[in-house]
Structure 1
Amino acid sequence: MKELKLNPNRFIAIYARKSKYTNKGDSISAQIENCKEKIKRLPSYNESIEIKEFSDNGFSGGNTNRPQFKELLECCRKNQVSLVVCYKIDRISRSLRDYVDILREFDTHNVEFMCSSQDFSTLDCNHKFMMNIFMAFAEMERDMISERIRDNMLSLARTGRWLGGTTPLGYKSVQQTEVISLDSNNKIRYLHKLEIVPEEKEIFMKIYKKYIETGSLTQVERYSHEMGIRTRNGKYFSISALGQLFRNPVYAAADQNMYEYFSEKGAVVSGAKASYDGTHGLMVYNKMNQNGGKSHQQHPVEEWIVAVGEHEPFMTGEEWLKFQERLELSRSRKYRSDRKNSALLSGILRCGNCGSFMRPKGYNSVDINGNKNFGYLCEEKEKSRRTNCDMKNPHGLELDKLVCREIKKLSENSAVFLKQLDYAEEKIFETSDDNRSELKELKKEDKNIERQKENIMERLSNEPAENVEFTESMRNKYNSLNEKQKVIRESIYKLESINNNQMEKKNQIERLKETFSSFPTTFDAMPNDKKRELIHELIEVVIWDGNSAHIYFKGRETKDEILLKFLEPLDGGSK
């Protein structure tokens, strides 16, 4: 057994759990007392080390959704815990999969684990051996569960039923009289199918026809604003919402075209080919990832289960496939902002009428200094073609100049100016601290994966070449780890870039503090991108009401108002 070294800067955590509020079994207090006695017998323990108690009374060990346990894990992730002690292993979890994941998490954050009434500890030399056995069983359990889910989905696919959740626009879920089965609690499970909602179908067909007419999601978004066409939630259709809506196969008929298309894509196509006769719509199961709060992440098409539904389709398979081809072409025609624009208030300037952001819109003229003229245009005004908002466009160069003037005025009152810079610096520190913690964890995970890859290579080198099944399994694991490591290293690179940028901003603010007396001159000499960064650090939002701009500085409760006479666009553009 390896020696336990307790970090004096970390605390020891006791975790206790009882499934029900009853007098049977070991009480929470009895579990905690037993753990305390175990801790006090540890050679490396001394009274200066803090002991914290975490307990969940009335919570099952079948999952990790327990408030105090979640808090304990969060403390481990923040590197605040050196040792976790519980009464028995099943107090941590009754799920082998969860248990393995928890021990991995402890290992990642250098947290040791032991039981007070069972001879189990991560300090034991047999621990690694036992972990390998646990991991093998956990892997088998995961595979069995995945198989059961897949078999269940294939079984459901044959019925063409709707499994629940938010129905697609144009449909509602209706309970049928047929019984599917009894669930684990002997409750009757009824068949549900999709039925058309006429008024919603009319909305879908309007925006669908508009896309066929224009070939542009931007034009359909604008059409939605102009005509007051809204989603079920009362919002206008955004480009992303339209893309998701139009790419849903549920609107297509389950015909031969769709059968061939999804077969070629590698999806699991349920049912005989002859059943895809175009009478009913298409159903797709296992399309979205429902785990870990990733409900907007889509599974690869190869994991989809495609079946004939019981609902009426909106279009033929051929029409849907042609529709998808046009949508793919639309991707290359998305609006891209001019990266070279000199606008300083992009992202913080809002319309005082509707609350939308105002974006720079260039004009075909220049000012006396050769700078390209532009105005700030309300996005809602643009999308609705003035139907929902008709805010006047402020002259961009003039508004930027006056906002800069207000920022330079800050230095006239040194106390206020330095307080403003302190606030901006404090916010940078907060972000940097969060990033550093995340970066540290990512680097640990990267090293852990590297070790696992090395172990696999070592095992492969010692394994006879004849054992093809084992070799293939190890290679698949290695490739999976490799893909995971790529994602982690991309995240590390991004965070390091952000941290470097934050450090540059901090240094810039420090220099401004040192030279605040000459701040106006220093500010004027900054390139536009640096000015924009500093403005965004100092200002929360600028609201344009048509005649004046209201500036809300960060860390201030009051607003500063500057008056700006409305100027007509200089090239006859949209006001």
Structure 2
Amino acid sequence: MIAIYARQSVDRADSISIEQQIELCRYETRGEPFRTYIDRGYSGKNTNRPEFMQMMNDIREGLIKTVIVYKLDRISRSILDFSNMIELFGKRNVKFISATEKFDTSSPMGNAMLNICIVFAQLERETIQKRVADAYYSRSRRSFYMGGNIPYGFRKVPTVIEGVHTSMYEPVTEEARVVERIFEMYSQPCTSYGDIIDEINRLGIQKRGKPWVRQRIREILCNPIYVKADLDVYDFFKEHGAEAVDPPSDYIGENGCYCYKKRSEKKKSLSDLEGEQIVLAPHKGIVCSSVWLKCREKCMGRKQMIPSQKAKNSWLCGKIKCGECGCALIAKEYDEGRRRYLRCSNRLDSKNCKGAGTLYTDDVERLVGNEIREKLTMFGKLSYHEQDIRNNERIRLESELAETDKEIESLIDKVADSDAALYRYINERIAALDTRKNEIAQRIGKLMCSKDFSIDETDCHLDLWEELSFDDKRQVADILIGGIYATSEKIIIQWRI
């Protein structure tokens, strides 16, 4: 069967359409039956394209003997991807035809010409990518609107800057009053994010139909788009390592500021201004500089409240969730650890859940521990031979875990320079790697949990539960339990096995 492959990343008047590509390729079929594979809205810089991947699977299954494209860059703009594709075509005796470039892959010269053309296709892609990045950088320094979510308190309106049609922000009166109130409250020394949320909820105010949470409050307080920037604000940014693009004389206490990361910068915390690019915006600010500076400095002096990444106060953390809303239960200690409770994180964060009721950490740990011991009755003895196999398996898994971490870090480094298609692929790949990483970690935990038991000890495991360390109990819980949903009325345990 003949395959016609067509791709178009962006539908523009000056680009050849999918239909035109297919019509030009149809001539090369010489009247023989064919199947079309079409990818709309996908870049040629990688192979993460559904119809392309389906075509390659059909080639591997021997269903396709000829592939026709309108032009070489329709099927690939990556040297590595193209080389792998041509190698597969050779193994499966698949003929490759470019309708406009007339390549013959049956000869060494034809293959050489193909490789030369793909080098220039990749060069063109990289040149376009750099040109787009340079244009973005240049426009951002001239106060042009650069897209993104419209901040609370503003609407977007058209404007003209330096003869160029663009957009700018304009304050929305009702939302701007809420923003002013947030800054006024937080500028007081003893006011917290939670206090602000309580007050806003009492007034029945939502953030464009959504409930307020601490992260949204923090984003507002850290955003220079709201400040009426004067020389004090200019000095603040300079003192904290930011690059102020506009001269000090332009900071007259009226305009807000845009904050951009440098092209080489990775994602940083909201409080870190080192290397940030500050540009005066064309819109009027909402908050006076003295109040904004008080709030900004207060934000820099405290850490953001986020859930702990590792269980500390209870070996149940990370497994146990609120039976009302499904959010994580956090182990809180009071009176220097003499009183221990499990509290709903959603309730603590935004008051959007009534909470799971009064849950004493010790009581819940005791109950779940008894259920785990009951579940452990299904396990038998382990021999030394089995233990050796487990140790070898653990070493292999630890090596795979390190490689997975390395690949995730490499993908994260590429996010800043990616386009929409590559960004989507990176997200999907990282999600898959993260799932695999969790599977490996659980397997390692299971192997480590049994490493200290000998033949004479394994039949006593039911009596050893209370003697296990905090980390050992947490690992056993990870192995056996998928999730726990708790309220003061009932506790539901979802077992893995």
- 1:16 and 2:16 equivalent? no
Contact 2:180 2:287 in 1 (8 A): no
Distance 1:55 1:387, change over 3 A: closer
- 1:213 and 2:213 equivalent? no
Q: In structure 1, what residue type is equivalent to 2:68?
A: Y
User: Partner residue of 1:315?
Assistant: 287
Distance 2:31 2:268 in 1: 38
How large is the RMSD of aligned CA atoms in angstroms? 5.6
1:173-229: per-residue Cα shift (whole Å, max 9, x none)? 2346x7998xxxxxxx9654322223322322233223221367xx21354146525
CA-CA distance at 1:66 after TM superposition? 4.8
Distance 1:545 1:153, change over 3 A: closer
Distance 1:58 1:324, change over 3 A: closer
- 1:401 and 2:342 equivalent? no
Q: 1:351 aligns with which of 306, 309, 322?
A: 322
Q: 1:325 aligns with which of 287, 290, 297?
A: 297
Distance 1:302 1:16 in 2: 45
Distance 1:553 1:103, change over 3 A: same
Distance 1:262 1:84 in 2: 63
Percent identical pairs in the alignment equals: 16
CA-CA distance at 1:16 after TM superposition? 1.9
State the SS of the aligned residue for 1:241. Answer: helix
Distance 1:54 1:410, change over 3 A: farther
Distance 2:53 2:274 in 1: 34
Distance 1:357 1:220 in 2: 20
1:327-377: per-residue Cα shift (whole Å, max 9, x none)? 22113x8578697856232222233345443222235488xxxxx652323
Contact 1:16 1:91 in 2 (8 A): no
Distance 1:111 1:405, change over 3 A: farther
State the SS of the aligned residue for 1:27. Answer: helix
User: Partner residue of 1:276?
Assistant: 251
CA-CA distance at 1:545 after TM superposition? 2.5
- 1:250 and 2:225 equivalent? yes
State the SS of the aligned residue for 1:393. Answer: coil
CA-CA distance at 1:251 after TM superposition? 0.7
User: Partner residue of 2:24?
Assistant: 25
Distance 2:494 2:293 in 1: 50
Q: 1:375 aligns with which of 341, 348, 351?
A: 341
Contact 1:374 1:397 in 2 (8 A): yes
- TM norm structure 2: 0.64
State the SS of the aligned residue for 1:362. Answer: strand
Distance 1:132 1:297, change over 3 A: farther
Q: Any unmatched runs of 5+ in structure 2?
A: 8-16, 98-102, 381-389, 412-432
State the SS of the aligned residue for 1:540. Answer: strand
Distance 1:259 1:365 in 2: 44
State the SS of the aligned residue for 2:188. Answer: helix
State the SS of the aligned residue for 2:255. Answer: coil
Distance 2:458 2:27 in 1: 60
Contact 2:320 2:329 in 1 (8 A): yes
Distance 1:382 1:304 in 2: 35
Distance 2:443 2:31 in 1: 45
State the SS of the aligned residue for 1:25. Answer: helix
Q: Any unmatched runs of 5+ in structure 1?
A: 1-12, 36-52, 182-188, 367-371, 416-424, 447-491, 556-575
Distance 1:211 1:137, change over 3 A: same
Distance 1:442 1:380, change over 3 A: closer
User: Partner residue of 1:544?
Assistant: 486
Contact 1:15 1:84 in 2 (8 A): no
Contact 1:358 1:376 in 2 (8 A): yes
State the SS of the aligned residue for 1:56. Answer: strand
Distance 1:300 1:57, change over 3 A: same
Contact 1:225 1:236 in 2 (8 A): no
1:423-448: per-residue Cα shift (whole Å, max 9, x none)? xx9xx99xx799669739949x89xx
- 1:148 and 2:131 equivalent? no
State the SS of the aligned residue for 2:302. Answer: helix
- 1:168 and 2:154 equivalent? no
Distance 1:542 1:241, change over 3 A: same
1:399-437: per-residue Cα shift (whole Å, max 9, x none)? 21111111222245679xxxxxxxxx9xx99xx799669
Distance 1:110 1:395, change over 3 A: farther
